[in-house]
Structure 1
Amino acid sequence: MSAPMRQITRSCQTFLVFCKKSQNLVISKRFNESKRYYASIPVFSISLRDVRTHTTLYGTVNNFLKSEPTPTTARLTVSRNYCSLTRICWSCRSPVAANDQKAVYFCEKCDSILPPEDKATHFERMECEPSFDVNIPRLTQKYRELQRQLHPDRFTIRREREQYYSLQQSSATNKAYNTLLKPLSRGLYMLELKGMSIEEDDKTVDKEFLFEIMELNEEIAETHSSKELSRLHEENTGRLEKLLVELSRAFSKDDYAKAKVILTRMRYYVNIEDKIKEMLMPSFPGTANDV
């Protein structure tokens, strides 16, 4: 090794830097080639994800820094709750590129199926915008595409670990699709993402509304005519459609408090719809977009 190279090596420092623009944590080597010039080379990238269990980040960073001749660690300014190491493929040990917009199912290098990302949202799994106004045909198309790729039947002759991961991925995809497919479950899930929920004894429901629901249930219980039940179903469908318009508007304005009130009412009307359908079965046809 030449003398200039030895000088550069001795003055090499390692920094952990957070880039706000790319939302990445980057470990970089900085070479002090002169008093006025620094050459910075990224050697390890860590994407920011909402993951709470990756203590691997700290072990990996510390091990890397300890291996350097003269490490200098910059202050980590990002909360531990919001940091994660870019995933490593369990099969070939290659880094798996993180994607903030969608879930990653396969290793790009060896094509092995990966375990589900625990913190991926249903919207990310189905690669759709986190909005209440979901494009249902596109959602269904994506679901069928993923099921063709992830279904356990495709992995019957693969390794046992891949069979297990395919079962997990397929199950997670089913759950995401079924949650986003129906407006009520989709809306409740969007509340859940904001840390909100609707309790059984929710106090936001006024007594007048509860009295209306009680009267509807009594009317349904006393009705034995299919024609009359169909009329009640049409009226209930009208109420739900009106609430859907209001709910879409509330979510578009990020008014989650109002969305919660609307969803609470919707849940009562959905229960009424289910009750009417059960009484009219098996002759009653299902709707294409059940609430």
Structure 2
Amino acid sequence: MNYFELFKFSPAFDIDTALLAERYRELQRAVHPDKFANDTEQQKLLSVQRTAQVNDGFQTLKDPIRRAEHMLSLRGIELSHETTTVKDTGFLMQQMEWREALEDIRDSADPQASIDALYQSFAEYRAQLTQQLTQLLTSEQAEDALLAADQVRKLKFMAKLHDELTRVEDALLD
């Protein structure tokens, strides 16, 4: 299913999330199962299915990584269950540096400063990746779609690493 069509958006990485939320509420009102309480069982079932599609579409489009994955899936590139790894050696080296910095936080003289520095580093790198991804997703070239898929893989890694850093920070605060 094309969630952009469902929510009446042109496929684009940058979307108006406030408008997305507004359209979500409109769709929910239109297909909510309570609206079909007195209808046939088939109508009720269709309503439940449609509500699930609307919910899934909203969750997909509101999350930038899932939105990019959806855009790529519309172009025949499925990333949601893949195990392909990033082959960019520069990114792999950066991963190693971040992992080492993450491991060194507990022994740091100023753990909070180390955490803040990592958050800043993540934000800067993620901003670069997102900017590149936005450009690649606007291209119609198949090669650019493959490059966009690599950017999404990197962003997924960044999200996991960000979660790890948050857990380390939470553990230090306890």
| 8 Å Cα contact 1:247/1:263 also seen in 2 | yes
Secondary structure in 1 matching 2:105: coil
- How far does the alpha carbon of each residue in 1:49-68 deviate from its partner, in whole angstroms, 9 at most, with x for none? xxxxxxxxxxxxxxxxxxxx
* Residue of structure 2 equivalent to 1:247: 133
Q: C-alpha separation between the residues in 2 aligned to 1:130 and 1:148?
A: 24
Q: C-alpha separation between the residues in 1 aligned to 2:63 and 2:48?
A: 24
Q: C-alpha separation between the residues in 2 aligned to 1:264 and 1:207?
A: 14
Does structure 1 residue 271 correspond to structure 2 residue 160? yes
Does structure 1 residue 222 correspond to structure 2 residue 111? no
Q: Relative to structure 1, is the Cα distance of residues 281 and 156 closer, same or farther in structure 2, using a 3 angstrom cutoff?
A: farther
TM-score (norm 1): 0.51
Shift in Å, 1:132 = 1.6
| 8 Å Cα contact 1:150/1:169 also seen in 2 | yes
TM-score (norm 2): 0.81
Q: Unpaired runs of 5+ in structure 1?
A: 1-119, 285-291
* Residue of structure 2 equivalent to 1:201: 84
- How far does the alpha carbon of each residue in 1:40-83 deviate from its partner, in whole angstroms, 9 at most, with x for none? xxxxxxxxxxxxxxxxxxxxxxxxxxxxxxxxxxxxxxxxxxxx
Following TM superposition, the consecutive aligned residue runs of length 4 or more in structure 1 with deviations greater than 6 angstroms are none
Does structure 1 residue 231 correspond to structure 2 residue 117? yes
Q: C-alpha separation between the residues in 2 aligned to 1:274 and 1:262?
A: 18
Shift in Å, 1:179 = 1.0
- How far does the alpha carbon of each residue in 1:159-188 deviate from its partner, in whole angstroms, 9 at most, with x for none? 322221111111101111111111111111
Percent identical across equivalent pairs?
25
**Over aligned residue pairs, what C-alpha RMSD do you find?**
2.3
| 8 Å Cα contact 1:126/1:143 also seen in 2 | yes
Larger radius of gyration: 1
Structure with the larger helix share: 2
Does structure 1 residue 258 correspond to structure 2 residue 144? no
1:201 maps to amino acid: T
Structure with the larger strand share: 1
Q: How many residues align?
A: 163
